[in-house]
Chain A
């Protein structure tokens, strides 16, 4: 009977171990294969635009191309005119502020600060023609720039500082006859160069993403599935899914990894459990700015220095500007480890004219909401861009300076190098008060990272976070994490207890040996 119980026990233990080991074997490999197959299929356009007569006639103005497009796509202009790409603003609900219209028109950043007063230059990245600093007709469909997104020849480009007009030397006929589904190059010409240069803003979107390898981005790698932006940023009626929280506030119309990969894609169930609180990006984007450096710090306060009355620049070893008279000093970094934040999909923004009460700590221009206890919040990787930017110390508001102008004397900082004049002109354009005083204030901007997804072998390992000191999540202290956290009191008392017991055991044992030899001597003596 006893033997039977004993054997039974052993058998059951073996079964339990085997069960524990073998049940984690389902996973997404079949799903991954399906996805690879789906996205490896080459896109075949349903029509050949080079056959249409209307696109063969000679175009004198880009607006004529738009008219030709709209003659067939005769309702598309309505879709475009509802889009953020066209309006540069949208209605959003912001916690504590209510419903506001927010966008490039009224939000401020800590790069070139804002668009107001600088429209002519900024319009290089607007999907329209004819923007001036006086204004823009957002209601004229002829001003829609179809080609910037739909040119498939990879030759179309906008001219700098021309309010969005294309380079006059382009062959508009050839381009118009070769339009199609947007490629990485179409999105990239604007989104890779935000902030006035390659990889200035995002850190994970840059010129290397035009034709990346799998090592740079596992999805878009040309040696892999070669996915295009619009494969994930699925677009219906010109409403593009996915958003950037530099300007967005609400948790809708987002793109999630889970849309394709499900929320339980791992072989090990312990990893799948993490997806409740940890975004995929956190482990799978271990570094960003893998090829070219990204801007990490921008100090506007040093701008305006001149050599022999002329603006100048300085460069670092990677060839990035570390100083520009028109913009100030910069710090660039490559292969950057992200910072990590809780994020529930909502954000609040500093909008033009918001009064800053606490000037002792950095102003967060786009605060990401979320904490451990928030059921919707997950940990995400973020590029934090820090800056020291112009500030009106009397009105306690950020200054929107006028930067660009094509001539001197209009107050534009990039021509006249005078902060007070630039602030006065910019604040007037923005309809904001200006005290006449310019100082500087530290600001931070959060750029959630979603691209440059690494191969699975390079994703984070357990002990990148589950480690006592200097783990990746060392700054997120609102929860208990095994391997990192402990009760110092319990650990210290425990240590003392163990040492006391060891000491007692050794003393007791030593005394036993000592007395035993004594008694033996006595016995042998007797």
Chain B
């Protein structure tokens, strides 16, 4: 039996889509600044990139606050339990139309592989991009004044770290977009993130099943 459950709260959805728009826009303008292609023109690309960067920073502050106060951060604490089962599912089970090895519930929305990936996203990729991005913005020139300990001799290391962060985020984005289609139906995950509601298997029934097994 399935039940329509409210999985993604309003702020969570707002945060998710805002972050999606900003990161895609930052990547698009960022790779123009990097010299990969020309679209807006260097000057405009830099101006837009900076505005979007400030917006993302504000959003991140709110998101951290929300995760801490609601305790939702626990969703991302990585676990290695069932990782193999999940990997088996993506590599084999999915083709045989096998059931998902882990059940999605409101208290545990993420499967073990998602937990590890999102944990890495939140403690490695996003901090790498954000911190290098802030240094990029603060960096003036060597031996400039004001904040003495922020004086770095060259933009090179900062810029290359920022590029690495951006490449990893784009890689994440591609995989993320694809895995959206691996829900119960092709669009069920997308619909859940848009409306907040998702058809989930009855939790009591699950528990009963697990007990029987």
A494-B11 contact in complex given A273-B140, A463-B41, C-beta closer than 8 Å: no
A462-B11 contact in complex given A17-B54, A17-B55, A494-B164, C-beta closer than 8 Å: no
CA A514 – CA B194 in complex, angstroms? 29
Q: B55–A501 contact, CB under 8 A?
A: no
A residues near B142, Cβ cutoff 8 Å: 372-373, 375
A6-B14 contact in complex given A16-B54, A373-B142, A501-B175, C-beta closer than 8 Å: yes
Closest B residue to A271 by CB, please name it: B43
Q: B11–A5 contact, CB under 8 A?
A: yes
Q: Mark A440-466, 1 if CB is under 8 A from B, else 0.
A: 000000000000000000000111001
A354: interface (CB < 8 Å) = no
A13: interface (CB < 8 Å) = yes
Q: Mark A474-504, 1 if CB is under 8 A from B, else 0.
A: 0000011111111100110010011001100
B residues near A373, Cβ cutoff 8 Å: 142-143, 153
Q: A508–B178 contact, CB under 8 A?
A: yes
B34: interface (CB < 8 Å) = yes
A residues near B195, Cβ cutoff 8 Å: none
B89: interface (CB < 8 Å) = no
Choice from B54, B141, B156 contacting A276 with Cβ under 8 Å: B141
Give the total of B residues in contact with A, Cβ under 8 Å: 48
Q: What does DSSP make chain A's interface, helix, strand, loop or mixed? A: helix
A residues near B97, Cβ cutoff 8 Å: 515-516, 519
Closest B residue to A276 by CB, please name it: B141
Q: In whole Å, how far is A498's beta carbon from the nearest beta carbon of chain B?
A: 6
* One of B114-122, B125-133, B166-174, B198-206 contacting the partner: B166-174
Q: In whole Å, how far is B193's beta carbon from the nearest beta carbon of chain A?
A: 15
CA A175 – CA B54 in complex, angstroms? 67
Choice from A2, A17, A481 contacting B10 with Cβ under 8 Å: A2
Choice from B33, B144, B171 contacting A482 with Cβ under 8 Å: B33
Give the total of A residues in contact with B, Cβ under 8 Å: 49
Q: In whole Å, how far is B17's beta carbon from the nearest beta carbon of chain A?
A: 11
Q: B163–A486 contact, CB under 8 A?
A: yes
Q: B46–A462 contact, CB under 8 A?
A: yes
CA A330 – CA B51 in complex, angstroms? 52
B residues near A486, Cβ cutoff 8 Å: 34-35, 159-160, 163
Q: A515–B34 contact, CB under 8 A?
A: no
Q: A6–B10 contact, CB under 8 A?
A: yes
Q: B171–A501 contact, CB under 8 A?
A: yes
B107: interface (CB < 8 Å) = no
B39: interface (CB < 8 Å) = no
Closest A residue to B9 by CB, please name it: A2
CA A487 – CA B162 in complex, angstroms? 11
A181: interface (CB < 8 Å) = no
Q: In whole Å, how far is B117's beta carbon from the nearest beta carbon of chain A?
A: 13
Q: In whole Å, how far is B86's beta carbon from the nearest beta carbon of chain A?
A: 14
Q: B96–A515 contact, CB under 8 A?
A: yes
- Closest 9 pairs between A and B when the two form their complex, measured CB to CB: A494-B167, A480-B156, A515-B95, A468-B35, A462-B42, A462-B43, A2-B10, A463-B42, A480-B155
20 residue pairs A–B, Cβ–Cβ below 8 Å: A2-B9, A5-B11, A6-B11, A13-B55, A17-B54, A270-B47, A273-B140, A276-B140, A372-B142, A373-B153, A462-B43, A482-B159, A483-B34, A486-B159, A487-B160, A491-B163, A498-B167, A498-B170, A505-B178, A519-B97
- Given A485-B159, A491-B163; 10 other pairs, CB 8 A cutoff: A2-B9, A16-B54, A373-B142, A375-B142, A463-B41, A466-B42, A498-B171, A508-B90, A511-B95, A512-B95
